[in-house]
Structure 1
């Protein structure tokens, strides 16, 4: 979900519909009603700026309000969006996009190819300070130079005419089209952005839904865009309720039409004889949850310490007790359903005795010589998810290590982790696009801005660079598989679990679906009389 970056440190199993809290809404807090209004649970957005967003909750809104050249299709391949077609040169370096005519921003202005050049150069500007631009647009000639302040424009982007955009890459990238289906590459309106730093609270996009304004309140309402260049949404509005408490409770009393299911309610929701069995949708999610070892800090600069901590945790038992079979244990990094997923990957086995031996063999020699180990976590008040407490308890029992937990608020965790982290943290990642690069390179390549664990391995870097430049899919996947196995053997992280979305949908809601990245697709939703 920066991606989409998804940090779930509660017992939630599904995407941002489970997150709650008070926040923004139209000033009139009388909840609108109507037969053509879909009501969900949402969260207060940290930002609606496509160039700066890093959390899945905010990204959910951005996908409804903004759009780009391409979007991800149902089969997880990029398909036409604002671009109606495109051509790729034989050497894989030049992409030419042909835009649909008469695409309009929400303010009625007709979009041109120059708007994409502006949007991408704004994302690459040092003044914007985007954490995602190099990840998603860094393959384009001149983006790195602009990010580093060495250029005032992106040399690899040329406006041929109002409906034609030419893009030149530094080197071939077989998944470049998937990258630009993510929100960092979405188009923004220059006049809208020029209104000041809070421009995103009155966003002017090109997407299927419009947001008039964000103000303090208890819900967010998006209205269907009647001038949408594709088929307009069938519902008139979508309301995201910002509230505390359980979405399931609201769902039971008819306060919302769709609800994510938390672990506490999972048994009730999945009971085949229960009242919710007909409403339940189980959607695979390309997500990965893990403990990140900060390898630039002691003691996790020593791979034997990392291996020891990984082998001291009985993941299968903890996940079964915590989630009752609703999620799967992660031996590797790539989740099921992801191209390149290896069900036979060999992970580090649970072996407390060997774990203690590894500590003795390490440069630290014994547990007594280890520095204080502090785990950075999102949250407040000392409340921790049960699976996190269980892992900490096993480190205590199997290694004799007492791990200290330091909690910080969610926004700091999402946006300031690079400076806030201690020597260990618990995190989650949801695919921005379905490709191994979005997990392996983005999280573990030395130069990646999302490598908050500071992991650095020249052998892994070389494999990832080679895989990204290899146009033959089978050969590329083999290279990614080699890199993933090295990451696991070297204990770059403690792989923990792969997620799923459990969602309840009222019988009168038709056409609602989540994609594998956990984003709701709302344009096909219809509401029957109820």
Structure 2
């Protein structure tokens, strides 16, 4: 679950100034510059990558869900299939695959002679072990997302709740050391896309059995072990970060970099200043610096598949009323919020499926037919209609609380602006509260099927895989843990319509016709937007500075670099 307030860190450097022999992080505007593409000596092939947490949340592919952790995971571990830079599914550890039994069975043929980074052979039994382990109650209980990506596999739900001890032999069948079959409960067009998520990246059983729950602290043992990706772990400190070196047993293109230093920084400003002091090769950008940074030669951005929204808990009165929610949505001027809180860096949006992805609907309209600018008159009409239906007035409207992550001043500004807009347009008072980012994730999980702890909150979502199912059914479907909004599980007058819409989601999920699927999701999305299932605020690009002497580095809309891309990355002479 790539929740996005789980920040995406990335970054980079400045121009080779023509008036100096030094590469400096100057802040001038774009103009002619020279970049030497000649590869530097091996001793200089060190890439320093900043991230904004004290430590990654998890190094375990079966547990990690945030982008910062998954970037580290994706250096060391790989899966049967993964996404390329165009977000197309490609064979990875698998050399090829076949779809059999009308979409119920997937047969994967592994590359020959694959090895873990410590030289131990990797075969189909390791694939079966990894997927079965991810679905085990012990591992799934740590993140609760195994069914999100592997739940289509036969007996997967029963494995997570302990009803069956293993799915090996039923959901997963090892035909021979080079061939493994996965059998689904029902065909689904998005299965391979879901399988690209790191939950199923292959892990080394002997390491886990030796070290148990602390196994990732021993990835640097024996000169690097545990995975089969382009890099292995040389050093891992929970305070100073991770040092990666090339995995000489990697089956794909060998990295040219000699080391990657994955280094923690407490916030954007610290990371940005370290970049300007030439202490890192990449950094994301404090929003206050965006107007200056965007004209630099070392600036670039990617139209990420990331949306931020205001969540409304349908089990909290009177938020279950469609006209109350529509009034609150129409009262918000997203364009002004973007300008005032986010320095005009983002794109105001009402969408649930983001622009740039299969299934995006350019004809979608905001709630109640409004635009991203909102409509104060319409907002008051809708809100008053909702109050009448609930037997309330503005003076008896309950004092609800908006919760948001504490570490971002821009998010605090957004919350303040939205609360003020509701007061000015609708005449209601909404309180505010903050939680740490990790506590926000916990609170969202606890709000599923409950009246709290969250009532109104700010959150975000970044694509796990490029399919509308990840944005529609995964967020609002029946018995989906991400459905903290309790869509379809509430006491509203429209709950039966919501449940019917959930049935339409299930039908779209298994529709094998790409055009018909996209059309079905478009219709479902418009209804979700009209009901304010999410009160979407904006779509956010990933913005960074990258030193121009870093060559061959590619970015994509999901922020995870395909493993073979690392073979093209190197440090040029400077």
TM-score clears 0.5: yes
Query: Which residues of 2 match residues 11-410 of structure 1 at below 5 A?
Result: 15-17=8-10, 34-42=43-51, 43=53, 44-89=55-100, 91-128=102-139, 129=141, 130-154=143-167, 155-194=170-209, 195-203=211-219, 204-244=226-266, 245-271=269-295, 276=296, 278-348=297-367, 349=370, 350-362=374-386, 363-379=390-406, 384-410=411-437
Aligned partner of 2:473 among 441, 447, 451: 441
Distance 1:166 1:344, change over 3 A: same
Aligned partner of 2:571 among 506, 527, 530: 527
Aligned to 1:6: 4
What CA distance in whole angstroms lies between the structure 2 residues aligned with 1:188 and 1:459?
40
The two structures, once aligned, show a CA RMSD in angstroms of 2.0
What CA distance in whole angstroms lies between the structure 1 residues aligned with 2:124 and 2:555?
30
Q: Identify the structure with the greater helix proportion.
A: 2
Asked if 2 retains the 8 angstrom alpha-carbon contact of 1:289 and 1:497, the reply is yes
Distance 1:417 1:319, change over 3 A: same
Distance 1:213 1:247, change over 3 A: closer
DSSP 3-state at the match of 1:514: coil
Asked if 1 retains the 8 angstrom alpha-carbon contact of 2:77 and 2:228, the reply is yes
Distance 1:381 1:291, change over 3 A: closer
Further displaced range: 155-164 or 367-376: 367-376
Per-residue Cα deviation, 1:78-119 (whole angstroms, up to 9, x for no partner): 101100000011511111000012211222211111111111
What CA distance in whole angstroms lies between the structure 1 residues aligned with 2:395 and 2:236?
53
What CA distance in whole angstroms lies between the structure 1 residues aligned with 2:361 and 2:81?
28
Residue 178 (structure 1) shift: 0.9
DSSP 3-state at the match of 1:342: coil
Residue 313 (structure 1) shift: 0.5
Aligned to 2:486: 454
DSSP 3-state at the match of 1:529: coil
Residue 380 (structure 1) shift: 5.6
Residue 415 (structure 1) shift: 4.1
When Rg is computed on C-alpha atoms for both structures, the one with the higher figure is 2
Residue 164 (structure 1) shift: 0.4
Aligned to 1:11: none
What CA distance in whole angstroms lies between the structure 2 residues aligned with 1:364 and 1:58?
48
What CA distance in whole angstroms lies between the structure 1 residues aligned with 2:454 and 2:508?
32
How many corresponding residue pairs? Answer: 504
Asked if 2 retains the 8 angstrom alpha-carbon contact of 1:382 and 1:407, the reply is no
Distance 1:213 1:300, change over 3 A: farther
What CA distance in whole angstroms lies between the structure 2 residues aligned with 1:382 and 1:81?
41
Residue 243 (structure 1) shift: 2.3
Residue 351 (structure 1) shift: 2.2
Aligned to 2:553: 512
What CA distance in whole angstroms lies between the structure 2 residues aligned with 1:65 and 1:56?
15
Aligned to 2:16: none
DSSP 3-state at the match of 1:427: strand
Asked if 1 retains the 8 angstrom alpha-carbon contact of 2:81 and 2:196, the reply is yes
Asked if 1 retains the 8 angstrom alpha-carbon contact of 2:303 and 2:557, the reply is yes
Further displaced range: 161-170 or 127-136: 127-136
Distance 1:382 1:230, change over 3 A: closer
Aligned partner of 1:489 among 530, 536, 559: 530
What CA distance in whole angstroms lies between the structure 2 residues aligned with 1:432 and 1:296?
27
Per-residue Cα deviation, 1:462-485 (whole angstroms, up to 9, x for no partner): 121111111010001111011100
Provide structure 2 residue ranges, at least 5 long, that are not aligned to the other structure. 12-41, 220-225, 448-452, 489-497
What CA distance in whole angstroms lies between the structure 2 residues aligned with 1:323 and 1:447?
34
Per-residue Cα deviation, 1:236-284 (whole angstroms, up to 9, x for no partner): 111122123432222222111111122111111112xxxx2x2122211
Distance 1:333 1:384, change over 3 A: closer
Distance 1:366 1:150, change over 3 A: same
TM-score (norm: length of structure 1): 0.91
Per-residue Cα deviation, 1:4-48 (whole angstroms, up to 9, x for no partner): 21116xxxxx72337xxxxxxxxxxxxxx9401001112311111
Aligned to 2:18: none
Per-residue Cα deviation, 1:219-247 (whole angstroms, up to 9, x for no partner): 32111111111112110111122123432
What CA distance in whole angstroms lies between the structure 1 residues aligned with 2:133 and 2:101?
30
Aligned partner of 1:471 among 477, 493, 512: 512
Residue 389 (structure 1) shift: 2.0
The runs of at least 4 aligned residues of structure 1 exceeding 6 Å deviation read none
What CA distance in whole angstroms lies between the structure 1 residues aligned with 2:59 and 2:398?
40
Asked if 2 retains the 8 angstrom alpha-carbon contact of 1:463 and 1:482, the reply is no
DSSP 3-state at the match of 2:338: helix
